[in-house]
Structures are given as structure tokens and as C-alpha cells.
A = this chain, B = another copy of it.
Amino acid sequence: MGNINLKELALALNLSTATVSRALRDSHEISPETKKKVLELAKKLNYEPNPAASNLRSNKTKTIAVIIPEITNNFFSQAINGIEEIARTHDYHVLIYQTHENSELEIAFMRRLLSGRVDGILISVASETNNNQDFKDIINQLPVVFFDRVNENIDAVKVTTDDYESTYNATCHLIERGCRKIAYLMALNNLSTGKKRFEGYRAALTDNSIAINEALILTDSNNEDENCAQIKKLLVNEQPDSIITSIENLALPCYYACKDLNLNIPRDIKIISFSNLKTAPLLNPSLSTITQPAFEMGKEAASILFKILNKKYFEPNGTLILKSTIIKRESTGF
């Protein structure tokens, strides 16, 4: 592939490979003139150092891995955008792995990365995660930063939003607008992310002296049609005045269910959904959304990873918590 190598460069310049290598890496022990000569010829010949050789020798790959559930989820593609931006400023390369919520695949990816393919990992864990020991093993061998979907049972560096606060505020928003029968569509139950969102909902109800009604609570089945059917049943049986969906993927079945029952949103029923779809507010003025700062979260998580790689981060179990935004549809009286 790459044509010219260090040896050839050195030969052409009548220098040793050591000197050329040092000159290219701007070592202080090389004279300015030599540096200049080397740099000039390198540029002229389009010299690109072989990363495998340099990695093998130096144990640095200039590569990080990003492990996420689904890249087509708006939240994650926005997060990757942020990660890529930071990686670029550090001259790093970014590998992408999708777990599709499969935690065995997730662990397999990480184990293979231990071979020294990357300098560090950014991960948002799969919903069915159940691999605490595996995670602990891996964290001991490679710098890992968890973002958004973190595992609460593991001490590690994490970047999240305040999931509790998001649903607490969303629930209060509905209560302030007169809602009393607020349905809740649960998801990510074995992640702190899902648990905290649910806690926020419960706490808001309690703080407003509204009893928790189990019949108003539904759990994500990971199947769009099934979810839609369940939501319809709930709408018919319980007649809630509002719904909170705890993940973006539940917004659509929710919307379908209401349409099928000829319920007008937000007149008959108000819906607040987690969503990072940029166009959501416009395309559907009837839905309010809880929007997470995905891009920023990617940037923050990556920045922390690079601090760790540069030995400039000293909080092994630090958690950075960013703010989500509730985008309200005041224009529609909701």
C-alpha cells in the first residue's frame, strides 16, 4: 500500500533511520536543519509512517473504539459525531461497534480489543447487560469511559445525563397541566439509566400526592408491534390522560396506538417522549420531548478518555452529569 518507508527516506537523505524517525517526531535532539531537510523530503515523497510498525514498537495505536447499541438511533449518531470531533483534534482514529443490545457480543468486542488494537474504549452498554465481572476484568486492562447507558454496579468513569431529574421534571410538567393519570412506558430496566428514569416519575407523582397505579406502567417488549398492542390495551382499559415514554423507540408505537384509537394528541392525551430527533418538534407539534445533549456527551466522554490516556485524569470513579432539556409544545396549549 504505502510506498516509501523510513529506511528509504533515510537512505535518500544520507541519514540513519533513527535520525529520520526522531526528526519526523520533532525530537529536541535533532538539529533544525536536519529536521527541515527530513520534513521536506517526507512531504515531497508523501511519506506516511506505517502505523502497525509504530504501534508494535510503541504500544500506541492512535485509535479508540466506540461501542454502542445502535448507530441508527439519533442519540448515538449524534454522540459519535461529538466523539469523532474530539478524536480528530487528538489525531486519533475511531472504530465503531454495534451491539444491537446483545451483551455477549458486547463482551466479545471488548475482549478482542484487549489485544492492543485500541488505546481506549467509549461504551454505552446494551440493555440486557449482565456482565459485571467481564466489565471489571476489561476495565483493569484498558481505559474505558461509559457514557449515557452506564452500569451502576461498576466503579468506573462515567458521563450521563440526570435521568432521574429528566422524568421528574417531565412528570411535573404534565401534572402542572392538569394530568393525573400519567402512564409510563418503562425500558432499560436492568440499567441504572432505566431505573433512575422510573424513579424520577414515581417521585414526582409521590411529591404531588398522586398514588402510583401499576396498571398505568408498561414495560418495553423490544418489539414495535407488541408495544403498540400493549399501549392500545392500556389506553382502552385505563384511559390515561398522558404518557411518558422512557426511550425514543417507544414514541412511534405510542403515536400509532393513539392514532388507531382516534385519540387526538395533545387534546385527548398528552405525550412526552425521550427523543433526539432534531426535527421532532417541527414535524410533530403534538409531542413534547426530553432531549439529551448527545453531541456534548460524546465530546465530554471522549475528552475524559483522552485525559486518561494522557495521564491527566485522576478520578477513577468520577461521574460527569449533563443536563437534558425538555422541549415543550406550549404553542399547542401543552
Contacts and interface: CB of A to CB of B under 8 A. Distances in A.
A192 interface: no
Contacts of A93: 95, 117
Contacts of A77: 71-72, 77
A215 interface: no
A115 B93 CA distance: 13
Contacts of A61: 52
Given A53-B56, A255-B282, A255-B283, A114 B1 contact: yes
Copies in the complex: 2
Interface string A238-280: 0000000000000110011000000000000000000001111
A59 interface: yes
A80 B279 CA distance: 21
A282 B252 contact: yes
Interface string A124-156: 000000000000000001100000000000000
A78 B61 CA distance: 28
Given A282-B256, A284-B284, A115 B80 contact: no
Nearest to A105: B88
Given A52-B55, A61-B52, A72-B78, A96 B115 contact: no
Contacts of A52: 51-53, 55-56, 61, 116-117
Interface in A47-94: 48-53, 55-56, 59, 61, 63, 70-72, 74, 77-78, 80-81, 84, 93-94
